[in-house]
Amino acid sequence: MLRLHDYGNSGNGYKVRLLLALLGLPFTRVEYDIDRGETRTPEFLRKNPNGRIPVFELEDGRCLAESNAILVYLAEGTRFLPEERFERALVLQWLFFEQYSHEPNIATLRYWITHRLLDDDRHAQIEGKRRCGYAALDVMERHLEGRRYFIGERYTVADIALYAYTHVAGEGGFDLAQYAALRSWLGRIASEPGHVPITQL
Ligand SMILES: N[C@@H](CCC(=O)N[C@@H](CS)C(=O)NCC(=O)O)C(=O)O
């Protein structure tokens, strides 16, 4: 059985859960308490030397970390990853954007706020992360004006990766009211056949 090492409230874990649901692939989930260091044990570090969920474990025991790498692995040969070379590269473009410009700002603020982790050092970083998070949302809004999905007018893993933390950005204090195209896209993704919410474990 395929196995997902996960943490229920994680958007990175949710990306994988959502794609597995859309693909109709059965899997078992192993929950870790990330606040208690459960992903930093020697046993877990053998699965992912970077000590973070999600980790996707294949039936033969091989483990793959990094949510967007897992998405690409699972989407290979399916409608969620284009075959055409340039379109595939565009998917990667948005996956890298998500990891560099979006997730470190929007997901991190959500985590700090919802887990009450705002010590002095993190307080000092809020303004910069807020500014960079809104800059990422601005980029998404401009791109989505006149488009239904991020690439090629079809639902791909780029949409899944960007949906995961954008739809819960409010929990990190981001106001999406000014982003009309983005909000339409969020609604479109949520109404895709087979969609599951982040709370469905
Ligand atoms: N770039 C990684 C980020 C993974 C990540 O930050 N995971 C967090 C939960 S969302 C985690 O496991 N944190 C526990 C820790 O750092 O000890 C990905 O996309 O999978």
Residues 39 and 124 placed together within one structural domain of the fold: no
CA of 104 to the centre of ligand 1 (A): 10
Number of folded domains in the chain? 2
Of ligand 1's listed atoms, the one at least distance from the Cα of 40 is: 17
CB 34 within 8 A of CB 53: yes
How far, in Å, CA of 55 to CA of 126, rounded?
Answer: 28
Using one digit for the tens of pLDDT, what is the confidence trace for 24-72?
999 999 999 999 999 999 999 999 999 999 999 999 999 999 999 999 9
Residues 119 and 71 placed together within one structural domain of the fold: no
pLDDT attached to residue 123: 93
pLDDT attached to residue 57: 98
First CA to last CA across the chain, in angstroms? 16
Residues 95 and 161 placed together within one structural domain of the fold: yes
Residues 104 and 31 placed together within one structural domain of the fold: no
Using one digit for the tens of pLDDT, what is the confidence trace for 81-126?
999 999 999 999 999 999 999 999 999 999 999 999 888 999 999 9
CA of 54 to the centre of ligand 1 (A): 7
pLDDT attached to residue 117: 86
Residues 59 and 95 placed together within one structural domain of the fold: no
On whether residue 160 sits in a domain, the answer given is yes
pLDDT attached to residue 152: 84
CATH code of the domain in which 20 resides: 3.40.30.10
CA of 136 to the centre of ligand 1 (A): 20
Task: For residue 139, give its domain range.
Answer: 85-190
The owner of tokens 């009309």 is 180
Q: Is the peptide bond before 54 cis (omega within 30 degrees of 0)?
A: yes
Using one digit for the tens of pLDDT, what is the confidence trace for 135-153?
999 999 999 999 999 998 9
On whether residue 157 sits in a domain, the answer given is yes
Residue having the nearest C-alpha atom to atom 6 of ligand 1: 52
What HEC string does the chain produce? CEEEEECCCCHHHHHHHHHHHHHCCCEEEEECCHHHCCCCCHHHHHHCCCCCCCEEECCCCCEEECHHHHHHHHHCCCCCCCCCHHHHHHHHHHHHHHHHHHHHHHHHHHHHHHCCCCCHHHHHHHHHHHHHHHHHHHHHHHHHCCCCCCECCECCHHHHHHHHHHCCHHHHCCCCCCCHHHHHHHHHHHCCCCCCCCCCC
What HEC string does 35-81 produce? HHCCCCCHHHHHHCCCCCCCEEECCCCCEEECHHHHHHHHHCCCCCC
Residues contacting ligand 1 via CB (< 6 Å): 7, 10, 12, 34, 39-40, 51-54, 66-68, 99
Q: Which of 6, 12, 19, 68 to mutate to test the pocket of ligand 1 (most atoms within 8 A of CB)?
A: 12
On whether residue 198 sits in a domain, the answer given is no
Residues 152 and 104 placed together within one structural domain of the fold: yes
